[in-house]
Structures are given as C-alpha cells and as structure tokens.
Structure 1
C-alpha cells in the first residue's frame, strides 16, 4: 500500500480501515503516512541495537516516538518530521556505520510498514496486536518516566516487540509475544501506579463539582499528572481556577494535588464531546495526552499543547514547562461573568472519584462481609475508553439496569456515560466507584486478585464481570494484560477491533470466552444466570 491505511482505533471507517484522504479521527493521509514512517524509523532504531549498545536517550526516544503515534495525539506533520529526524540522529549516534554495514541483520534501514499491512491476514492481525499494544504501553512508560520512574525490563521489551514486527514468525510464536505484551504492560502499569502514588499520595474519595465558577480559569485535559502539578504551582495566587477534563478527573483524589485550593472541579464530560463543550469557551485548554480532536475555529485561539501532543498552529509548551502563555490567555479571556452550571450526561451536577485500590482494599472486610451476607450480589467493572460511535449508550443502560445489590467499579473516560448517576449505596459503600484513569486497570486487577485470595478461589470464579469499551491503543495493552492473567468472560464493545482477523478472534473466543456486547438486558441476564 502506498496510501493511507490505518485501522488502529475503534472508530475506523467501515470497521475495516481508514484509506481515504482523511481518517475518521481527523488526521490527514499525509499525517497517517508520516506516522507509519516514524514507526518504521523506530523499528530500525530498535533493531540497530542488536549490534550496538543502546543509551538511556535511546529508550526515551523509542517510548516518546511510540506515544506520538497513538490515536488523537499528534496531527502536526512538522513535529512528526522532527521526531523522525530525532530517531535517525539517535540511530546514527549509537550505530554510525549502520547504513553502510553489509551484515545481513536487517537493521540497515527503516522498516517499510507496507510490508506489515500486506502480510497474511492472521500474521498481520497478531503483529498489529503487538504493535498497538506497545504503543499503549509506551504512554504509561512515558508518564512514569516524567516522574522519574523507569524499569529496565519494560524498556528492553520495546526493542524485542518492535523487532518481532519484522520477523518471519508463526501464529503460535506471535501469540506468545502478544501475551508477553500483556505481561510487561502489567509491570508498566504497576510502575506508573507507584510513580503516581509515591509522588502524589494514595487517592481518596472526593466529590467533584461540574459547575465552573466565575472568573479566569484554565482547563487541563489528558493523563499527565506532572503537567497538572506544574500548572497548579505556576497559577497559585494568580486568581485563576483550574478545572480537569476527561481523563484528568481522577487527579482530584490525590492528596498532593487536591491540596491546591484553586483546583476547583471538572469541566464537561468525555473527550469526544469537546468540539461542542469547548465552543466559545471563556478560558484556555491545555492538552497533555491523546484527548485532542481537530480544533474548531470558535476556540482555536485558546488551545495549547504540551509533551508529545501537537496540532498545527496551536501554541506548544516545550520542555521548559513555562505556562506563561496559557496563564496570560486565561487572564485575557477573564472567564465567565457568572457561575456556569454544567452537568454530566445524565444531568448530575457532580461526580465522584478517588476510589483507588488502596481505598477499596481498605474496606475489603466490609466488601467480603457484604458478599457473604448476600447484600452484594455481583461486581461489574464497567470501564474503558469512550468514543462517538452510535451504540455507546449501551454502557449507560447497562449500569442503570444492573441489579440494585451490585457494585459498579469503573475507570477511564468511558465512565462519563454514567458517573453522574446517583445509584445510592450498599451499607455505606457507593454503588459506583471510580478507580481512576485507564492505567488504573492495575488497581482493579489488584482488587480482583485480593478478593479471589479472600474467597479462596480463582479470579474467574468471583462474582465479577468485566464490561469493557475500547477506543485506542491503551485499551489494547490492557486487554492483553487481562488475557495474560488468564481472565475470561470479558464483554467487549461497542465493536470488535478491525485488526483482529476471524481466525484470531475465534482463538480468543475459544480460549478466553471474549464476547461482543449485545444488549444490556440480554448480557445482564446471561451474566446473572451463569454466575
């Protein structure tokens, strides 16, 4: 293929792949092909280390480069070209004679991604699963790295997985590597969990208002807690309020972040609603990760990016992290003249967050007692990435129809479909518990394992069902982690990944009983009948 081909996210055209002048996500064909070129350069860099020692900078560039190719991160051709040059310079630094070398190691040039897209269907499917999985894992490794936390085993695995893309391997061998992505991602999520909690404390439950107070304000979107901390520090005492957006909501639960009195609340709902919710917004918005949609003219002058996020003509905050431009824009716009009352999708005026694994395990005795006394019938982990595709109201209706004696655990931005609902509590335990960002799937896994130990059974034997929504590549690596752990009976939607071939799908169904979602009432009946 010498034109755009992309099928890495859930919204891909026709559930098969984006091949036209523009992807459904809004990136152009040129941008898509530059992302492929960047990926090919990263693969070439990774393979060159088989004969040349890598450097710490090599790890950073590979992780940063992979993160850059995730859906909704970078729409800027210029910065993609700069990243490609950066990869080539690093390769030349560690292997100066690589391109002139006659050794048949396959590392003398960038990998041509068209070779992957034209592979045998099942091989392409598994190699894509590996590639998209490590892209998601790279985002988690990047956030941990920003906080000063790294793991050599995790870093080294990126080189192995990237090299595998070029190897002639059988289906069974590739399945093994795909599960290894899940294994290493578990370690990576554990690393990020430690980085976040050791830096900002263990999250505790907090009620977060959705009303925007009058006066200057800044909205910060994405996942990077370090960016939020720096923004809070630089705006302290300046009369500017800070509001989270999308996946930044769980930041309110961290003691070292919520101590800032000007961290006020949360703006709007999930990321895919931003073009409507940011229309003529009276404050600037800072994007720190992959929550960016094509920018509308009505708010184009107030969008700022940082880290690997980039969009043409938007002001980018560089490595110096001087947020003066966005602070000045907030003061210039002045905010709303009166408090702006906003609500969640279901009309709620606040949402709860902060139910990390430390909090839930802290009341484990109450949870266990509730199950034994039959006051709690079931646990549902309803979470994952949100998106715009029709049918995602399934998750709202599923939660609404869930048994009144069940507990809903949730994480990632899919929770915005229902996190403003008031479902009451069971013996003081709220029925909806937001465990955090997508990477906090690690916490959910930790809770599940602890409950299994308490009940002396396997995780698959718990009264626990996972109802997951997926959108981009971080959801891919989380799914691979669940499969690596042997967790079965996962319900996945709103559609199955386009890059999963029929044969590979059959394998997953037969070995892990993965089910596509149907309707809330049918799925609930099936779950509760078979529990």
Structure 2
C-alpha cells in the first residue's frame, strides 16, 4: 500500500499499515473503488451529454467516494460489495449510451474474489500513477482528495433530502478529469479551484438541509459531566442519526451524549428540545480509545471518525457508511440493538459536574448581533478576529493551536469550528461588551457558516474579505479539510496559516504557486505568528 491522503501519513506516506489503522488490503481496495468510480464518472458524464441522468448513479458516486475518506470504513467485505455495485451501475448505465468507446476504469472488470481485487488495487494505486509530471500528479491527487471532501458534504445533504444534479455532474466531470493525460498545469489548477467552488455549493446544500430540518443553531450551554443513568454516546457528524436515536429512546430512561463533532448538535432547536440529550462526553476523535473504554454505555459511530475499538468492541455500533470488522453494523435507521445494549449496561452511577461549554454560534446567531460587533470594531474594542479551526489529530505539534488561542489579546475574538476546537473549547476567554471572545461556529460541515460570516462582515465594512481584520489559522487532517481549503482559495482568500504540517502530496512547485498567489504559509510558533498578524 501507499497512502498519503491525511496529515498523519507516516514519513510522507503509509506503506505497511495506515496510521489511521487501515490495513494494506483495505487501502488497496479503496484505491480500486476510487479508480472504478472514476470510470463510473466517465460513463455518467457521457450519458449526461445524451440527456441521460441517473440519480442513483449520482448518489452512489458520492457514497462510494466518501467511503474511501480517512476513518470511515475499514471493512474489506463491504468494499468488495461497493466495488461490485459500482461496476453493476456502470455497466447498466453504459448500456444506455450510444456511440461512445470507453476504456480504462470504464471497462475494467473486477476480480471475483477479495485477493484478486487487492491485486488489482495495487495496480491502480498511487505508486503506479502513470502521470510522469510530479506537479501535475500532485494537483490531480489534490483534486481527488478535494472531491472526497465534496462527496462527504453532498452525502450528508442528500440524507436530509437536499441534492443538486449539477453538483453531482461537476463531481463526476472532475473525477473523470483526473484520468486525463493531456491536462496542462493551468488546467489542473483551474480544476482544483472548480472543486473548491462546487464544495461551496455542497456546503450550502448541507447548511440548508440542517437548518431547514432542525432550525438555525442558537447559543447553547452544554453540560460536560455525566448524568446518572443508562447512556448512549453518539460520535461522528450525522444529525439525522442523532435525531432518530433521540426519538427511539424517548421514555426508555437512557441519556444520550454527543462526542467529538456532534457537540454542535446541542445548538439546533429541533434536537436540543429532547430532555434526554444530556450533554457532551469526551473530546476529539483521536482520544476515543481511552475515552470510549471508560464510557459505561453503548456507542454509535456515524460518518468518519472511527478508530480501532479496543476492549469496548461489544459496545460499539456503526451505521451509514462507517464500518469496522467485528463491530455490529446497524442499518435501516433501526437502532434497537444499540438501545438494548445500553439498557444491559451499567450506565453512570451518579451525576458529575465537569463544567460546561457554549456552542451554537453559527451565522444566524452571530449576524443577529452584527450591529454590536461592527460598533465594537469601529470603537476599537474589537481589534481583530481569528478563525482558528479545522481538524484535530494525534500528531505532535497541535498544541500550537491551544497556545495560540490562549495568547490572543483580550481585544480579539476567536471563531472556531470542527474538531480542532477541542484543543481549547473549554478555555474561559471572557467577553467583549457581552460578545463572547470564543465563538463555536459548529462542525467542519458548518464551514459555510464561517464563510458567510466573513462575507457579511466584509459587506458591512464595504471591503474585501482579505481587507478585514480577520486571520485564518487552520489545522488539517483529512480530505474534507482539503475541500475547504480549495473553497477558500476559490474565494480568493489569502494569508492563511496552515498546519501542523503541509500535505505530503503537495510538491515544492505547487507550494510555491500557493505562496506566490495566496500567501499561504505554514504555522511557526504562536508568538511569532501573532506578532506577524497583529504587527
């Protein structure tokens, strides 16, 4: 195997086992599925030119690509099923297309067993990429990883009934473009920026899906300590799974706790109305093995966050696209096995006060006090805004973000989102004239809210976003972060600080392009970066 799609890739690329925990076979099956989905995209693009639109193919494209994102699915058997389903859908659609000669992954026949598929996956993996130009290869891989992030957001939105066939079409066109052998450097750059643009559309759809279903998030205090009683922990990102579980556990004496990126769910009116949504447990995804081992109830994993379960394998359940060999997978939105397991376990023996945190400062909440914020800026009470957000991870160097936030001056405001906030989410930074200095915008899925806040502030001050007293200090881990970064570049946003390390798939020449055109820079030290930013 060779994989370098995440920030923690060992020494520039994992070659024996993924730092995420995926095996050689899982990694190569993911490579094969990605390759075949590019072929499916070729066929879908050709069919669309003949007026043929297959919604099921569109949805499957997003699901298949999302399945290959870091920390989603580690189950080889499920990848075999996805590979076979991909080819079945491809061939059924191809039969409707006339006058087109396909080749490559659009005609590839998968092997009949797992071992054969693994061998095929090695043939089409990164190490055997036929692109001879390292910079073009870098940009094509960046594009592929960005599309994985887009696919995740598109799938989340589709679950709540919000879809856009034009978005799917552009995803498929860009996936097919990664196979092209005659793209110029300029065309590859434009394709990456187009990925950023369609990701904005995907995040817009998801924002609409979440807010039209559950209401706009409201500033909400969230309890961190446990409440006595039976317990279920929900991790991941999927709001509908949480809602379904809340409905199915009403009156059963089970308290529901969020974990990781589910924390912002407490701000949604249609979710926080459930009295047994008891609070938040634990911190970021990478601490789950220690934290889950101490949780006295059932655990439900949604979307991408799962690590290898240790001594709690019998208590953990997966749903949706998430998979781990040996973990019980729950489908059809029936969480009866999770509920029965929780009822059979001890639960928490007593209440415990571990304080609380605030969440729910999405765009509506922030812009409802925009006048106060603007007046505070004009009066000089707020000197600067920092957006400190992104992915968290276990790799050394991420304490930078804790120290950075702790050292921000008292006349500055910190907006945050995604699991990177768990480096400092419980810090008491005080307020400026009643405006909290630390504002949790939400999940990584809520990056759209952060963008809208920045655009609204720019409009209020009649300037460009780059002219605002606003600095972006971002951490990345996986492919949704790649998609968001491409979106920021597509919006023309400059001067981003990125860390804890730069992507291994970015060549020096591509990095130079980003520096010269967008002034992207790696983080250094909190002291040096704050001095540079604030002058």
Query: What TM-score do the two structures reach when normalised by structure 2?
Result: 0.94
Please state whether the residue corresponding to 2:264 is helix, strand or coil.
helix
- Does the alignment pair 1:157 with 2:155? no
- Distance (Å, rounded) in 1 between the aligned partners of 2:284 and 2:303: 14
Question: Equivalent residue for 1:91?
Answer: 90
Q: Aligned partners of 1:341, 1:332: CA distance in 2, in Å?
A: 25
1:25-44 aligned within 5 A: 25-44=20-39
| Correspondent of 1:322 among 327, 334, 339 | 334
The answer on 1:10 being equivalent to 2:23 is no
Q: Do the aligned partners of residues 457 and 32 (structure 1) sit closer, same or farther apart at CA in structure 2, a change above 3 Å counting?
A: same
Moved over 6 A (4+): none
CA distance in 2, matches of 1:433, 1:86: 43
1:346 equivalent in structure 2: none
**Inter-CA distance 415–97: structure 2 relative to 1 (3 Å threshold):** same
The match for 2:430 is 424
Matches of 2:419 and 2:262 in 1, distance apart? 9
- The 1:283–1:119 alpha-carbon spacing in structure 2 relative to 1, beyond 3 Å, is farther
Aligned to 1:88, the other structure's residue is in SS state helix
Does residue 293 of structure 2 align to residue 279 of structure 1? yes
CA distance in 1, matches of 2:77, 2:488: 37
The answer (yes or no) to whether the contact 1:288–1:307 under 8 Å persists in 2 is yes
Deviations 1:89-111 (A, max 9, x none): 1112212499x999255532379
Tell me which moved more, 248-257 or 280-289: 280-289
Matched residue, 1:522: 528
The answer for the alignment partner of 2:345 in structure 1 is: 333
Superimposed CA distance per residue, residues 310-365 of structure 1 (whole angstroms, 9 cap, x where no aligned partner): 000111011x21100000000000302123455xxxxxx21110001001011000
Is the 1:116–1:165 Cα contact (8 Å) retained in structure 2?
Answer: no
1:375 and 1:340 map into 2 onto residues whose CA distance is: 38
The 1:423–1:116 alpha-carbon spacing in structure 2 relative to 1, beyond 3 Å, is same
Distance 1:242 1:50 in 2: 44
What's the CA shift for 1:7?
0.4
Distance 1:125 1:237, change over 3 A: same
Mapping of residues 160-179 of structure 1, within 5 Å: 160-168=173-181, 169-179=183-193
Residue 19 of structure 1 pairs with residue 18 of structure 2: no
Secondary structure of the 1:355 match is coil
Q: Given that residues 74 and 325 in structure 2 are in contact (C-alpha distance below 8 angstroms), is that contact kept between their aligned partners in structure 1? A: yes
In the aligned structure 2, how far is the partner of 1:102 from the partner of 1:42?
18
Provide Cα deviations, 1:240-280, integer angstroms capped at 9, x if missing partner.
00000000110000000000000010010001000111114
| Cα pair 1:54 1:94 within 8 Å, conserved | no
Measure, in 1, the Cα distance between the counterparts of 2:170 and 2:132.
23
SS in structure 2 at match of 1:435: strand
Q: Give the RMSD, CA atoms, in angstroms.
A: 1.6
Q: What are the superposed Cα offsets for residues 10-45 of structure 1, whole Å, 9 maximum, x if unpaired?
A: 00011x11112x111110011000000110110111
Is the Cα contact below 8 Å between 1:219 and 1:284 reproduced in 2?
A: yes
- Once the two structures are superposed, residues 382-420 of structure 1 have per-residue CA deviations (whole angstroms, 9 ceiling, x without a partner) of 000000011100000000000111000000000010010
| Residue 494 of structure 2 is aligned to residue 497 of structure 1 | no
Contact 2:45 2:173 (C-alpha < 8 Å) held by counterparts:
no
Give yes or no for contact 2:2–2:125 (8 Å, CA) kept in 1. no
Aligned residues, how many? 515
Q: How does 1:459-478 map to 2 (within 5 A)?
A: 459-478=465-484
Question: 2:77 aligns to what?
Answer: 78
TM-score (ref. length: structure 1): 0.95
Distance change >3 Å, CA 279–CA 92, structure 1 → 2: same
Match of 1:310 in 2: 323
1:256-313, Cα deviation, whole Å (9 max, x unpaired): 00000000100100010001111142111101011101111x2111110000000001
The whole-number CA distance in structure 1 between the counterparts of 2:85 and 2:161 is 22
For 1:398-437, what aligned pairs fall within 5 Å after superposition? 398-437=404-443
Spell out, residue by residue over 1:154-194, the C-alpha distance to the aligned partner (whole angstroms, 9 max, x if none).
Answer: 11111111101110211110000000001110111111001
Pairwise mapping of residues 124-523 of structure 1 onto structure 2 (< 5 A)? 124-168=137-181, 169-296=183-310, 298-318=311-331, 320-342=332-354, 349-523=355-529
How many Å separate the matches in 1 of 2:510 and 2:516?
10
Change (3 A) 1:33 1:368: same
Q: What residue ranges of structure 1 are gaps of 5+ in the alignment?
A: 343-348
Q: Residues 48 and 108 of structure 1 are in contact (CA less than 8 Å); yes or no, is this contact kept in structure 2?
A: no
Map 1:50-65 to 2 at 5 A. Answer: 50-52=45-47, 53-65=52-64
Whole-angstrom distance in 2 between the partners of 1:307 and 1:12: 26
**1:49 equivalent in alignment to 2:55:** no
* Conservation of the 8 A alpha-carbon contact between 2:28 and 2:125: no
Deviation at 1:215, TM superposition (A): 1.0
Cα gap change, 1:330 to 1:523, in 2 (>3 Å): same
Indicate conservation of the 8 Å contact 1:6/1:12, yes or no: yes
- What secondary structure sits across from 1:316 in the alignment? strand
Q: CA deviation at 1:118?
A: 5.8
